[in-house]
Amino acid sequence: MSAKKINEAQLIPLLKKGDGSAFALIYEYYAPVLWSFLEKFNLPHVDIEDSIQTTFIKLWENKEKIEEGKPLKNFLMTLAKNDIYNRVKRNIIAQKYLNNLIPEEETEMDNSKELQMILLRILESLPEKRATVFRMSRLEGLKNDEIAKELGISKSTVENHINNSSSLIKKILKNLGFNLLCLFSFFS
């Protein structure tokens, strides 16, 4: 038996009981292994880091399901691979959605004009009231109280509309590759 097998045989039962030290040792040992594995997918380092974190979160959440005597490496690699596939699938779906929103001839614009155009198209796809509240708040600079009074809705409804639309817009723009720092002015 190798030292790795002996360590796993000792650590897995402890992990299954919720032992944080056992989890930390497994993380320290397998995080670099997962990094090497995920690098083969030619992913940005941020995605690799996120996938490793997600993998270990899922390991902790599913620790009771780990089968003792089976290599932990295989279980972790399967979790990481599934996470990457799900990320790719989400990106493909988002890209298809965005391709339907943005005509191809607009891809030649500079970033600020492109950002404004994309934002307007996203706003057009939002429910009318939510888009109106977002425009009034972020583009016209009105305060939440003023918006609530003008539209005859509560201030908390205004805040909910702003939060929901901001969240969706940020997600779509992030998937398009816009740096969130340059987007900050739209959402602050």
Cβ–Cβ under 8 Å, residues 161 and 130: yes
Query: What is the reported pTM?
Result: 0.49
Domain borders along the chain are: 3-95, 104-187
**pLDDT value at 77 more than 50:** yes
Instruction: Calculate the alpha carbon distances from 76 to 51, 57, 82, 102, 188 in Å.
Output: 11, 11, 10, 38, 39
**pLDDT value at 130 more than 80:** yes
Q: Write out 57-99 in H/E/C secondary structure.
A: HHHHHCHHHCCCCCCHHHHHHHHHHHHHHHHHHHHHHHHHHHH
CATH of domain 104-187: 1.10.10.10
| pLDDT per position as a tens digit, 133-160 | 988 888 888 899 999 999 999 999 999 9
Tokens of 104: 């191809």
| pLDDT per position as a tens digit, 17-58 | 999 999 999 999 999 999 998 888 777 888 889 999 999 999
State residue 183's pLDDT score: 47
CATH class of 3-95: mainly alpha
Q: In whole angstroms, give the CA distance from residue 161 to residue 173.
A: 18
